[in-house]
Amino acid sequence: MGVTEMTLRRDAAQPEAGFACRGGYIVTTRTTEHYDFDAQMNRAIDAKRAAAGHALDLVPEGAVVFLDTGTTLPHLARLLAQGKARRIITHCLTTAEILQGRSSVPVEFLGGEIKSSTRSCHAGNPQKRLAPLGIDVAFLSAGGVGSDGALSCSHEYEVPLKRAAIEASKQCFVVVDASKIGQRKPVVFATLDEISGVVTEAGLLARMSFTL
């Protein structure tokens, strides 16, 4: 971008900047938007199922898989319940409910404080929790995949676990329906350069699909 980290942090500290730095990620200071999980679950269902099918193709046989919360990844959970993965790790209550009693694949649920807005659990020090688990591939949700490469979500509390999953996994993909491309939510948790790729109903998107 042609500017130093110190310049970015100084600019972010200005009241008119409209965003703030939070130890490695950016939060807009204007709002944290309302997120209706149930409404999102019922939106673009066919596209989400198709995206999940493409994501399944990226899972190596016998892999340890991390599934983020969100309304697309439960569709991937249903596919993984049929086998292929050696172990599934998640903090998403919806995904855990789908897998419980319906799969021969061992499931490890990451507990913590329940966040009803995303039906997920969050606890302290997620890096320490995920690092020893040998995650082969992580699949993350996102509310927006910006043309500038920013990956964003609706809540600040989602960020630590997303960051930990990126750092702890050998490969990491964001799985969204195509309506999220070009969108920007209040909290930026990573950039395209930090993950392995983005999967939509069209499949794994090429880097040239984004204007960086």
SS3 161: helix
Residue spans of the domains in the chain: they are 1-30, 34-209
The DSSP bridge partners found for residue 113 are 122
CATH topology classification for 34-209: Rossmann fold (3.40.50)
The residue to which tokens 């989602």 are assigned? 158
Instruction: Say whether pTM exceeds 0.85.
Output: no
For the chain, give the percent of residues with pLDDT over 70: 77
- Angle subtended at Cα 204 by Cα 77 and Cα 73, rounded to the nearest 5 degrees: 20
Per-residue pLDDT tens over the stretch 19-77: 444 544 445 544 455 556 656 665 789 999 999 999 999 999 999 999 999 999 999 99
92: tokens are 């998403």
Task: Calculate mean pLDDT across residues 66-95.
Answer: 96
The model's pLDDT over 137-154, given as tens digits with 9 standing for 90+, comes to 999 999 999 999 999 999
Q: Which of 108, 188, 106 is nearest to 150 (CA)?
A: 188
